[in-house]
Amino acid sequence: MNITEKILSKKAGHEVTPGEIIEIPVDLAMSHDGTSPPAIKTFEKVADKVWDPEKIAIIFDHNVPANTIGSAEFQKVCREFINKQGITKNYIHGEGICHQVVPEMGLVEPGKVIVGADSHTCTYGAFGAFSTGMGATDLAMVWATGKTWFMVPQAIKMEVTGELNQFIAPKDIILNIIGEIGIAGATYKTAEFCGETIENMGVEGRATMCNMAIEMGAKNGIMEPNREVIDYICKRTSKKENELDIIKSDNDTIYEKELYFDITEMEPQIACPNDVDNVKGISKVEGTTIDQCLIGSCTNGRLSDLKDAYEILKGEKINDNIRLLILPASREIYKQAMTLGYIEAFIDAGAIICNPGCGPCLGGHMGVLSEGEVCISTTNRNFKGRMGDPKSSVYLSNSKVVAASAIEGVITNPKDLM
């Protein structure tokens, strides 16, 4: 059996098979300021008390601080519900993006079943958990019962080999995979990432890859925890390794598909407008004029991303025609970046440093694009109108490319600057 089947079998109390419908208990249910209000509206029609307030996390990150009266009202509804239900332990406001903050809080462990009213909840598969997004109505029923149903997914094995060079990052690997498979190529499948490249990859890069599993339609992305992941979880949860439920796929597991990717000769990958699978090597899009550059999001707002940008931007100035926005994924990362001198270097280069949050990724606030404007971003989606006007355009890349592009004013291979 593969990791996902083993986790679901343990929760179901019997050995599950792909295609089977199961109802299982949930270890953590997460929502944010955008999805909590509709979940609350549904919940209050079916129950009075949540099943376990300590297994619910509500993170304000999408429109923080509130940028409209509507956003303020949404957050007011959430706060009233949080206080009424006693969900105060895992209520977070303004500390960062849910998919970064939840692991920092020690709420993610291998073997857990985690659901969230946000499609990128699949991020937590980087820690060996079965983690997936769901709609607000489904989440309301989880709040009420502590359970949900799934159809056990088929699994696709995605083996990655080769070493990252100094110009690419894990973001390039997942963009390349999505470009090969397509935005619907893994619909309702488990995307199980493995191979020497994954085994040697750090926590942050793993989170980036699992975060974007949904962009090829996958039900969940998942990886076997490596040493760095185990050490991270032990530190965050104050548990010992033998207290964790570390699950691995059997050596004789039969997958629906087995795909192999060699990154040895890979150049930076760019997802071009208006689909995430419209992926091209940077050599095919170099020189494209841009208006805005963005480094941040639940995909690439982590310390390693800021470090990559710092190494290119330190001592440099951004192009006069460019707006560079940088949003650390959490308050913890923001503080680390300040201590390391990254933030000062970004400010000196001409960047605008925004508070931790989602903001411009979804066109919510900060950095909304006008008609005809072009942005190159480290975010996860570039759909039509995603970051503002439907006639604007978004290119997706790693933070090294964004930083280099901010200096030159056009999409630029960092190799050309270094």
Q: What is the pLDDT of residue 113?
A: 98
Q: Is the predicted pLDDT of residue 91 greater than 80, yes or no?
A: yes
Question: Burial of 56 by CB count in 10 Å (0-12 exposed, 13-18 middle, 19+ buried)?
Answer: buried
Q: Could you write out the DSSP letters of every residue in 43-85? A: HHHH-SS-S-GGGEEEEE-SSSS--SHHHHHHHHHHHHHHHHH
Reduced to 3 states, what is the DSSP secondary structure of residue 14?
coil
Out of 245, 261, 277, a domain closes at 261
* Continuous segment of H or E residues that includes residue 159: strand 154-161
For the segment 111-117, the average pLDDT, to the nearest whole number, is: 97
**Peptide bond before 274: cis, by omega within 30 degrees of 0?**
yes
CA distances from residue 186 to 160, 190, 214, 256 in whole angstroms, order as listed: 17, 8, 9, 11
The parent domain of residue 24 ranges over 3-261
Confidence label for 317 from pLDDT (cuts 50, 70 and 90):
very high
The answer to whether residues 257 and 280 belong to one domain is no
Angstrom CA distances, 285 to 8, 165, 222, 379, stand at 43, 20, 31, 18
Q: Tens of pLDDT along 338-397? A: 999 999 999 999 999 999 998 888 888 889 999 999 999 999 999 998 989 899 999 999
- Look at the alpha carbons of 126, 135, 216, 401 in this order and tell me if their dihedral is positive or negative: negative
Mean per-residue pLDDT, 390-412? 97
Q: What is the pLDDT of residues 31-52, one digit of tens each?
A: 998 999 999 999 999 999 999 9
Same-domain pairing of 134 and 94: yes
CB 272 within 8 Å of CB 294: no
Q: How far apart are CA 314 and CA 294, in angstroms?
A: 17
Strand 269-271 to strand 279-281: parallel, antiparallel, or no bridges (unpaired)?
A: antiparallel
- Torsion of Cα atoms, 361 then 363 then 367 then 368, to 10°: 150
Share of the chain above pLDDT 90, in %: 92
Tokens representing 338 are: 């300040």
Q: Using CA atoms in the order 407, 409, 413, 415, what is the torsion angle rounded to 10 degrees?
A: -30
pLDDT at site 96: 95
Looking at 261, 289, 314, which one is the last position of a domain?
261
Give the pLDDT confidence score for residue 365 in this predicted structure. 83
Whether 283 and 250 share a structural domain: no
State yes or no: pLDDT of 418 exceeds 80: no
Residue 92 has pLDDT above 90, yes or no: no
Q: What is the mean pLDDT of residues 245-252?
A: 95
Average pLDDT score, the chain: 96
In terms of domains, do 84 and 228 share one?
yes
Same structural domain, 195 and 275 = no
Long-range contacts: 82-88, Cβ < 8 Å, 24+?
A: 82/58, 85/49, 85/50, 85/53, 85/56, 86/53, 87/50, 87/53, 87/56, 87/57, 87/58, 88/53
Q: How many CB atoms lie within 10 A of CB 83?
A: 11
Amino acid at the residue 225: P
Model confidence at 160, in pLDDT bands (50, 70, 90)? very high
Query: Which stretch of 154-163, 294-303, 379-388 has the lowest confidence by average pLDDT?
Result: 379-388
- 364 CB-near residues (< 8 Å, 6+ apart): 62, 63, 67, 358
List the CATH number of the domain containing 142. 3.30.499.10
Which of 261, 279, 309 is the last residue in one of the domains? 261
Give the DSSP H or E segment for 356. Answer: none
Please check whether residues 164 and 292 belong to one and the same domain.
no
Q: Both 47 and 115 in a single domain?
A: yes
Query: Would you state the pLDDT for residue 79?
Result: 94
| Same-domain check for residues 26 and 88 | yes
For residues 167 and 297, membership in a common domain is answered with no
The pLDDT of residue 192 is 98
Q: Mean per-residue pLDDT for 395-409?
A: 98
Q: Could you give the CA distance from residue 17 to residue 316 in angstroms, rounded to a whole number?
A: 55
Domain count, the chain: 2
pLDDT confidence of residue 176: 98
Entry pTM: 0.95
Task: With residue 40 as reference, give the H or E element that holds it.
Answer: helix 36-46
- Checking if the pLDDT of 398 tops 90, the result is yes
pLDDT band at 63 (very low <50, low <70, confident <90, very high): confident
- 244 plus 286 within the same structural domain: no
Q: What pLDDT band is residue 323 in, cutting at 50, 70 and 90?
A: very high
Across the range 410-415, mean pLDDT stands at: 97
Q: What pLDDT is stored for residue 375 in this prediction? A: 97
Do 171 and 244 fall within a single domain?
yes
Compute CA distances 324 → 168, 343, 347, whole Å: 20, 13, 10
| Tokens 């931790």 -> residue | 356
pLDDT at position 359: 85
Q: Are residues 201 and 89 in the same domain?
A: yes
